[in-house]
Copies of this chain bind each other. A is one copy, B any other.
Amino acid sequence: MTQAESRVLCPALRNRIMSADEAAALIRKGDNIGMSGFTGAGYPKAVPGALARRIHQANSEGDRFKVGIWTGASTAPELDGALASVAGVEMRLPYQSDPVCRQRINAGEMEYIDIHLSHVAQFVWFGFLGHLDVAVVEVTGITEDGQLIPSTSIGNNKTWLDEADKIILEVNSAQDMNLLGMHDIYYGTQRPPHRKPIPLVAPGDRIGQPTFRVNPDKIVAIVETHAADRNTQFSAPDENSRRIAGHILDFLQHEVKKGRLPPELLPLQSGVGNIANAVLAGLEDGPFENLTAYTEVLQDGMLQLLKSGKLAFASATAVSLSTDALKEFRENLAFYRERILLRPQEISNHPEVIRRLGIIAMNGMIEADIYGNVNSTHVMGSQIMNGIGGSGDFARNAYLSMFMTPSTAKGGAISCIVPMVPHVDHTEHDVQVVVTEQGLADLRGLSPKQRAETIIERCAHPDFKPALRDYYRRALKGSPGQHTPHLLDEAFSWHLRALAGRGM
């Protein structure tokens, strides 16, 4: 790449440009590395692979080389896959969704901490997670005065840049320079006791600046790349997703009628994936206008809502689009830059802001139990799937907290409504609405027993209803207490049957 084409416009920094291998050589064994990346957007494309090669080389020479990898959220095969493949990760946090990574964790070969996304940045400032040695952050460009133009995600990048001893930047010329102006980096956070209110009262409020500040002395390497983000492909909503979306839209309309929601609703938060996308597609045809979103990730469905004008504004921390949607996004960046703000994840997920704005939170789950406890993370109580991500930040502090799943999994062999979940991520105190394709259970104002009756009758699949009723009826008789009736000797019998390969 010639200097004329380079996006490293700051003259003093041009001498730090080097290859990914040279940059990776600056990382030491045992370092904790804060990398950019959130939902497959804005992660470094070259240095992780170079680091993986270096680790592989060291390991093959009998030199055990591992590092700690901290990110915003999930990344891509080039990062999590590459480093997990060479067994290079000692401790991973705060979220992952990579198949190789997951396999390593569940084989007991890699440690993982699954942390509320709003907690990560402050835990690092507080010194709770150990020392941050290196930041590896993708940016779109470096301005003449050394400011960094963010990429397609913000995540924890501000914190990594502020806290790391050494900074490695990847300047990715495949990211659009017109992203400049779509970011809002808030520099008002402090450690207690010096914290002030966050001055954000609507999803579109700008409270920060469009670029990252950085101490240029800490920049030890700049690697120029030209590579696209991981593509996220969405399948067209299936029948179950459409039915779940339908129940949610009916419920929201009912809440507006009852005066419990304004006609334009309240800011939407939507988890990642096909069901979430189906709900958004449903809003496209629904009666609501002038919607807003205050969420983590802007996916295809929300882009479509922005385009059609149904959605007036979206705040997020990452833009994660399919190839087609990305094309639309880039061709109309000026339009979207007026309607999208990307923020640090401690702000996109901040309990203060979520409670103030009164978010409508919609998140997927693995399973719920009859009393409304939700498992979002563990298969059969012990195997991690992905992680809690931001679902807890939103569920606890939202105006309305909804969890959704098809009522069965494994082709109908397993029920996603169970007597007791073997891992709890969202307690009975934090779950207001449970939705499956069978129906919607509104748990607000219900005691545990009333919740059980509602969840079984509204949400369970007909194939499993009789057995759930039977468990609940026998628990009502045989449980030592009648507040939350349970038979502890068979509460997990459904999971044990599934583990034995006998369905539930």
A contacts, CB < 8 Å to B: 91, 105-108, 111-116, 123, 126-130, 191-193, 195-199, 201-202, 258-260, 262, 266-267, 350-352, 355-358, 373, 378-384, 388, 392, 396-397, 399, 420, 422-430, 432, 444-447, 449-450, 475-476, 479-486, 488-489, 491-492, 495-496, 499
Contact = CB atoms under 8 A, between A and B. Distances in A.
| Across the A-B interface, the 10 shortest Cβ-Cβ residue pairs | A192-B358, A383-B481, A108-B482, A197-B197, A382-B481, A424-B424, A111-B447, A352-B352, A384-B483, A488-B492
Nearest to A351: B351
B111 A381 contact: no
A116 to B, nearest CB: 5
Contact of A382 (B113, B202, B378, B483): B483
Contacts of A191: 358
B351 A396 contact: yes
A479 B425 CA distance: 20
A262 B382 contact: no
17 contacts: A106-B481, A107-B482, A108-B449, A113-B445, A114-B428, A127-B259, A192-B357, A192-B358, A193-B357, A197-B197, A378-B481, A379-B480, A380-B480, A380-B481, A384-B481, A392-B429, A424-B427
Given A259-B127, A357-B192, A396-B351, A427 B427 contact: yes
Contacts of A378: 481, 483-484
Contact of A126 (B127, B260, B380, B429): B260
Given A352-B351, A482-B382, A128 B193 contact: no
A200 to B, nearest CB: 8
A423 B484 contact: yes
A262 B427 CA distance: 33
B397 A351 contact: yes
Given A381-B484, A424-B424, 19 more contacts: A105-B483, A108-B476, A108-B482, A111-B447, A111-B449, A113-B446, A128-B260, A192-B358, A193-B202, A193-B357, A193-B358, A195-B356, A195-B358, A196-B356, A351-B396, A352-B356, A380-B481, A382-B479, A488-B496
